[in-house]
Every structure is written in structure tokens, then in C-alpha cells.
Structure 1
Amino acid sequence: MKLQRNNGLRATALAALAVSGALVLTACGSDNNAGDTTGGAGDKTAAATNIKCDDAKGQLMASGSSAQKNAMDLWVKNYMAACTGVEINYKSSSSGEGIVAFNQGTVGFAGSDSALKPEEVAESKKICSGGQGINLPMVGGPIAIGYNVPGVENLVLDAPTIAKIFNSDIKKWNDPAIAKLNPGAKLPDKAIQAFHRSEDSGTTQNLGKYLGKAAPNEWKYEAEKKWPAKGGQAASGSAGVAAQVKQVEGAIGYFELSYATSQSIPTVDISTGAAAPVKATSENASKAIAAAKIEGTGKDLALKLDYATKAEGAYPIVLVTYEIVCDKGNKADSLSTVKSFLTYTASDEGQKVLSEAGYAPIPAEINAKVRETVNSLS
């Protein structure tokens, strides 16, 4: 597609917006300017002028984490409106599938809610000529525990209780452990329908890390991408779990906060041992993510999170989604597009999109290193 002047440029930009705009606005549900089409379009155009397209061209394939899907939809929409003639195709599947696709060489980058394992890094060296796969933290946010119990608002749970629910050890909503955390609530004598991810998922792994650290006596499973516990029901992707919780009375499940926000699914407040239970918000997740430390070496920026935090107002069930790329040996035909797109997502403008969509931006000092690393990719 060649860049055309005036009407051609407008038509191309509007076409790109039409492809993803409806899905993004439906999924995120956080833009209240839908009725102000003139002002909204002006804002989007102004933002798009700050995106540096550089030598980006053609189609860039990427896949992985469904937790970052709503953020990725917004980024892709904004980027394609600015960089006409470029198509970013992000397939929302799962972290596990994204890593497999990356190590098979079928995508320019992958999204994963957990850092590459040593064996996955070793596998990546076959694809990254002279280099290896590295983790670039790009999206932060809370893993919300959504529930469907009519008449029950501001439900409070702690880590041991959540662990017992998802391990099928607590089976009724009026269980004494839940009642003790929610005095005065009218909890029904109704079966709990717990939903988890059906495929390998970084979101599952991060929930497992939280439960393993905060409720070690109740959750004795290793934190893996594959769901480890007995019982429960499976659904595909964060969207699938959220849909089941929305539809099934008595349900509970876990997914990135924007899925709860977009579908008006109530979320659990977490009792951490702090003075008050902590709500699942991007601001509260940011307080937890801000304490993260870089544990990767070289250009790898994998983070270590404190899942057992008791800091006031810090929401403990958080994830960081990484964009996985080669430090060296990226495909020549997609390298310029990968660098251009990830430069935008890591920019102040790109990170601001996260806050507006219910995600948590990456802390500034870590994000500065992400930008430096993106610039050095080869």
C-alpha cells in the first residue's frame, strides 16, 4: 500500500481504525468520548503524529498473551493510523502458544505473562542467529478475581480462601471462611463454579505464584502455565473465563482487570494483612509493580515481583506481560517494524494508553531500560 496525499491518507487511516476500533472500544469500555467524534478523532490524530514509523513496512505477525489483548488492540489501532502501509497482526492466544510460535520463527515477537524459562531461552537460540530471546516488560496490571453472586457487593477474600476455592476445598458461597471475611453479607447457600484457563497461560502462572507465596499451606502446587489444581471448569483465554463468570451465577474466575471492567463484572477485594482490603485497580497494582526488581542479565529485563506484599494499598495479584524478541538475529524483513512498534509501546504516549485502559504502566526507571534495549535490537 503506497502513502497517498490528502484524501488517500485520510482513507487509509480511517480504514485501519475501522478494522480494530469497534473491537477495541467494546473490549476496553473505558473511553467515554464515543459521542464526541470530532474531538476524539482530533485527539487520536494528534497522538498519532508522535509515532515514529521509521523504516517500518509490510505485515508484522505477533502472538501470545491474551491478558494484554486490550492494550495491544489500542496500540495497534494508534500505530496503524500513523504508519499507513504497515499492518500489525497480533493473535491473542496464550503465553505458552506465543512462546512456541516465537521459537518456531513464525512471529516477529511474542507476548508472555511470564519470563522465558532457561530451556525456552536455549530453544530461542536456534531462531535468533547469534543471539537469544529476551524479555521486555511492557504491560503491567492486576489479575482480577471476578465473581457472579447477585446481591453480594465488595466481596473480600484472602489468599488462603482463594486457594481453597480454586482447589475445590471450599464449595459453597456461604462457607464459614468466606462469611468470616464478609460480616453482614448475605451469602447464598449456592455452589461455587470456579473457572480456570484451559490452555497454558502466564496469567495462571502468576496467580499460582501469588497463591504459593501468600498461601503456601493451602496451595502446594508449582507455579506453572498449566492449571494444576483439581476440579473446576476450563475456558479458553482471559476472554473465555470472563465470559463464563459473566454468564454463570455462582461463578468465580481470574483474568486481567480490563475484562472485568468492560463487562461490568464485580471483582474481589484482597485482604493482604494491610489495614484495609485492597481493590483491584491499576493504581493499586502499580504500587506492587513499583517494587519489582530486574533479575534478568544482559539485555534481558525479566522482573521479580513481591506477590506476598502487605504494603498499604498494594494489590498483590499482579502480572507483567513481556514482549519477547531476539537481542540479536531478529528477522531482517521485520526488524525495523518490530523496533518501530515497540518504540511506540514503550514511549510515554504508549504507556499512557495503559492507564486509560485499566492497565498499569511499567515503572519509569525500568521502562527507560526497555527503550534503550529496543533501540539496540539487531
Structure 2
Amino acid sequence: MITKRHGVAASALAAGALLLAACGTDNNTSGAPNPNQPTANIQCASGTLTAAGSTAQANAMSEWVKAYQNSCKDATINYQGGGSGKGVQQFQQGTIDFAGSDFALSSSDQPAADARCKTGPAINLPMVPGPIAVGYNLPDVKQPLNLSASTLAKIFTGKITNWDDQAIATDNPGVKLPSLGIQTFHRSDGSGTSYNFSNYLAKEAKADFPFEANKNWPAPGGQGSNGTQGIAQGVKSTPGAIGYMELSFATQSQLPYAKLGNAGGKFVELTTDNVKNFLAKAKTVGTGNDLKLEFDYTNADADAYPAVLVTYEIVCQSGNDSAKLPLLKNFLSYLASNDGQTPLTNQGYVPLPADLQTKVAAAVNSLA
């Protein structure tokens, strides 16, 4: 189960990941690389890879880079954050070897990505599933709040402006809510977290959220913050604030997060199992080795947490730099392996379902 008792570990991991995102590299000079005893499922190759994008997967990528470089002394992997939108743009421009993104390539982004690859299409490889937490700052409210999709939509569109609003009270019978103004925080940069959270609201509360899913936050009003860290810090420092963020940032900031309403009107707690249950009904809608996923927001199961994202590694199916291809394949193969996926639970993420993990491994093996 994912709970706030993991906050200390998540904080330490997030701090390392944020350092990685800020500096663009982590060569792990404090560790002693041992190429003679590589970790299981890490096959070494030499060279340098540069990647950028999703901050949602930064905690996972930080640990993966350290593990790979500990085993492979001649490999250097630089991962910068910057957000999914920036990562996709850099991939299209050919300045990075692969991009991390919290949303698959859109129909408008695909042509430029394909052109960058020259001899083959760009494909989406799901790698890091994780929940989106709705964190809030209400010091006098001790129990986790229930928030339906409709109520959240009204909050994030400015239709509900105070915490003692009747809609919030209806979601939380018996809870004493403060007469306190609401300050919403959203991403100011292009973000897959924004895309997935706005998609949840658009699918579950269309009448109250008349916008399409978008990597650029589509609703008016509120306070924009750069990166998930900016949202978490804004919520933490503002009484009455609320924002959407990856779970590790909520736990790092010691923010409570809500139980969210699903299509069946159930309020679902954010736990590992509940995230897995929602992911279990996701469908692969890409073709060939493009493993783009589509979530089932009609899922009414009482144990399926509905605000979920999956980060993708966007890479060329073919046309990769031949000198970098062995390292690219070996590193991504490690990410998709059991040794790469199993530790994700300790970092606030959820491992890929086994069948999808197998598909990703096969797709990585086919890169050329």
C-alpha cells in the first residue's frame, strides 16, 4: 500500500531526482562502479546517452541511472527534467536520444518525431505507471477528504471558491470544513501530469469541466507553477491551497491527499493495489511496437483509483545512432526488466503489469 509513512524515503528520492533534473546528469562519483559484477539484467555498453522530459519519472530515472552506472563504468546517462512538453520538443529536434513523457505522442507531434527518426517511426514505450495525488493544505482537517470528479472540476474552474461549499460538504458528511478561500495550483509548463489530470476531469465530469485533455492546463484562473515541485511548494506554503501532483511530491511535502471519485460514484483511496486495479483495464491502442495506452475511465470498481498517469520513453523504432544503439537498448532493457520495475513500488510508483512489461521488453529488443 502507498501511504504517507513512505514520506521520508520519498523525500530522499525526490531530492536526488530533483538534483538530477537540475544538473542534467548524475555520474554517481560517490559510488564505486564494479563492471566485473554487473547487477542482474544489466548488460553493459559504453558511451553516453542524453534524455529529458517528464519530471514525474525523475525519481525512478535517478535510481535507474545510478544502478546502471554503478554496474557499467564506461556508460554515462544524462537525464534532465524540464517537463514532458519540452522533452518531446527536444526529441523532435534531435538534441536528445530519447524523451520521457507523461503522455504518448499526439497526432500533431507524431510527424515531427517520425521525421527526426528518418528511417522509422517514433514509438511510445510505457515505463513508469504512477498515481496523481490531489494534495491540499487544510491543517485543521485531520481525516482525508473525499472529492468527486464534479467537485474537483468546479474547484479547478473557479466555480467553487471556499472550502465550506455545499458540494464539498456533500462529499464529506460529518467533516467540519473551514470557511477558507480556495487557491488552486496547476502546472504552468507543458506537462503530462496536466494532460492526465485534465483527462480524468474531462471524462468523469464533462458537464463541469468543458475542456479537452491538454498538456497545457486548459482551465482559467488559479496559480500556475513550474514543475511538480513548484505545485507542491505552493500548496505547502498556502493555507487553503489545492493542487495535483505525483505522489512522491505530496509525500515529500507531507501533504494530505484526497480520495477521488470514480465513474461509479465511489471514493477511492490512493493505494498501490487500487492503482494496479485501474491500470489492469487499460488498453494498448498503438500499432506494432508502439505501445500507447488508453485508460478506461468508465471503470466503476470501488477499488480502482482513477487519476493515473504512465510515463513513456519516446524513442525511434529505427534510425537510431548506431554508435549509441547498444547502450540505448541495454539501458531501456534494464528499465523494463523485473530488476528495474520491482523497486518502483518503494518510490511511490507502480510496476508495469506483467503482460505489458513483456511487450515493452520485446519492443526495446527490436530497436534499430
Give the TM-score normalised by the residue count of structure 1.
0.86
Measured in 2, the distance between the counterparts of 1:64 and 1:278 equals 30
What secondary structure is seen at the aligned counterpart in 1 of 2:311? strand
Quote the residue 2:27 is aligned against: none
Paired residues, what number?
A: 344
Q: 1:161 to 1:275 in 2, by over 3 A?
A: closer
Q: Pick which of 303-312 and 109-118 moved more.
A: 303-312
Counterparts in 2 of 1:9-48, with a 5 A limit?
24=13, 26=15
Cα deviation per residue 1:215-262 (whole Å; 9 max; x = unaligned)? 010011011111111110010111111111112111100011111122
Quote the residue 1:158 is aligned against: 148
Which of the numbers 131, 143, 151 marks the counterpart of 2:132?
143
Cα offset, 1:281, TM superposition: 2.3
Cα offset, 1:307, TM superposition: 2.4
What secondary structure is seen at the aligned counterpart in 2 of 1:53? coil
Quote the residue 2:298 is aligned against: 308
Cα offset, 1:45, TM superposition: 11
Q: 1:367 to 1:320 in 2, by over 3 A?
A: same
Q: Extract unaligned runs of 5+ from structure 2.
A: 1-9, 18-30
| Contact 1:51–1:79 under 8 Å retained in 2 | no
Cα deviation per residue 1:56-89 (whole Å; 9 max; x = unaligned)? 2222110011111111111111111111121111
Q: Extract unaligned runs of 5+ from structure 1.
A: 1-20, 29-40
Which of the numbers 322, 327, 332 marks the counterpart of 1:337?
327
Measured in 2, the distance between the counterparts of 1:191 and 1:57 equals 55
Identity among equivalent positions (%) equals 46
Measured in 2, the distance between the counterparts of 1:196 and 1:110 equals 23
Counterparts in 2 of 1:205-354, with a 5 A limit?
205-272=195-262, 274=264, 277-354=267-344
What secondary structure is seen at the aligned counterpart in 1 of 2:115? coil
Counterparts in 2 of 1:56-71, with a 5 A limit?
56-71=45-60
Measured in 2, the distance between the counterparts of 1:188 and 1:259 equals 25
Cα deviation per residue 1:119-156 (whole Å; 9 max; x = unaligned)? 32211222212101100000101111010111212111
Measured in 1, the distance between the counterparts of 2:196 and 2:163 equals 25
Q: 1:332 to 1:287 in 2, by over 3 A?
A: same
- Read off the aligned partner of 1:350 and give its amino acid letter: G
Q: 1:151 to 1:70 in 2, by over 3 A?
A: same
Cα offset, 1:103, TM superposition: 0.5
| 2:104 is equivalent to residue 115 of structure 1 | yes
Q: 1:260 to 1:25 in 2, by over 3 A?
A: closer
Cα offset, 1:91, TM superposition: 0.6
Quote the residue 2:4 is aligned against: none
Cα deviation per residue 1:81-112 (whole Å; 9 max; x = unaligned)? 11112111111111110100001001111011
Q: 1:280 to 1:22 in 2, by over 3 A?
A: closer
Quote the residue 2:26 is aligned against: none
The Cα RMSD (Å) is 2.3
Measured in 2, the distance between the counterparts of 1:187 and 1:376 equals 55
Quote the residue 1:38 is aligned against: none
Cα offset, 1:48, TM superposition: 5.3
What secondary structure is seen at the aligned counterpart in 2 of 1:136? strand
